[in-house]
Amino acid sequence: MRFLNKKVNTWRWVAGMLFPVLLLSQSCDFIRMKKEKSESRKPVARVNNTYLYQDELIGLTNSKTSKEDSVSRMMAYVDSWIRKQVLINEAMKNIDINEAEVERKVLEYRYSLIGYEYQNFYIKKHLNDSVSSEDIEEYYKAHLDNFILKQNIVRGAFIKVPKEAPRTKNIKELMSSRKEKDIEELRSYCLSFSSAYHLYDSSWIEFDKLAVNSPLAEIPNKIQFLKSTPYYETGDNQSLYFLKIDEYKISDNVSPLEFVKEDIKNIILNKRKVELAQKLEQEVYENAVTKKDFEIYSN
């Protein structure tokens, strides 16, 4: 295979052989060119008796792709094609290939890709992506066993500040307050001095995720800690850590609805997508039956 030994990856070869293809691929004459390819096809690469032609590279780039990026993309494709052809040739020499089986798998894969693309088109067109709170709650109550916690979760506040940060003695008081002005003062303090924080909101968070990179991660019995410690302060060589737990849920218990709300929404949407895909398949089949678009021949 002398072709493989040529220095085909030079820019001169690229400009002379590939760039005209880029222009063709961006041209409005694409359809005309495809019709004419049987009359005169220009080879770009060869491995033994198999050729890669210029017209087979059309569509790899578009008008928005720069010349340099286009050429680079084309070269990568040509190199990949050569490597695959060499491997195929080697395989054909060393093992028995069932060509009919290969062709059948290629066709199945092609049909699957086309069907998948149309399925996505149909689903995007018909999917109702609005999921109400009632839908979520109904699904949650009907599938409680599917929402068992694998981690301890908490709802509360966590603040990490450098040891030299000012007014650290006020943090506990601010964390315990529910006054709007104190909550805003605490938020402003965290923005100015905290290197990590999680402040009050309605969201639940995994305790291990909250405690990561802090002495809290080293607590040996976290379940006992959560049950007995509504407020906790600690520190290390560089930082101080403040934790206030308003609510907690222990692993192996049913998750709160709020913690799995987004998961349930995605489950419902995925279920709708599956139902739409099944509906499409059935509709297309029944329509083909009605129109007598197919028949099965008996032997």
Asked if residue 40 lies in contact with residue 106, where contact means CB atoms within 8 angstroms, the answer is: no
State the pairing for strand pair 239-249/196-198.
unpaired
Residue 32 has pLDDT above 60, yes or no: no
Residue 27 has pLDDT above 70, yes or no: no
CA 74 to chain centre: 27
Contacts of 177 (CB under 8 A, 6+ apart): 183, 186
* Backbone conformation region of residue 280, classed left if phi is above 0, alpha if psi is from -120 to 50, else beta: alpha
* Backbone conformation region of residue 86, classed left if phi is above 0, alpha if psi is from -120 to 50, else beta: alpha
Residue 264 has pLDDT above 80, yes or no: yes
Instruction: List pLDDT tens digits, range 105-124.
Output: 999 999 999 999 999 999 99
Kindly report the number of other CB atoms within 10 A of residue 256's CB atom.
16
Residue 137 has pLDDT above 70, yes or no: yes
pTM listed for this prediction: 0.67
Domain boundaries of the chain, sorted by first residue:
2-95, 98-147+261-299, 149-249
Rounded to whole angstroms, the Cα distance separating 57 from 46 reads: 14
Only one residue has tokens 């709708």, namely 272
Residue 186 has pLDDT above 90, yes or no: yes
Instruction: List pLDDT tens digits, range 46-74.
Output: 999 899 998 888 888 777 878 888 888 88
Arithmetic mean of pLDDT over the chain? 86
Only one residue has tokens 């060869």, namely 46
Q: Identify the band that residue 299 occupies on the pLDDT scale cut at 50, 70 and 90.
A: low
Instruction: List pLDDT tens digits, range 209-241.
Output: 999 999 999 999 999 999 999 999 999 999 999
Asked if residue 210 lies in contact with residue 198, where contact means CB atoms within 8 angstroms, the answer is: yes
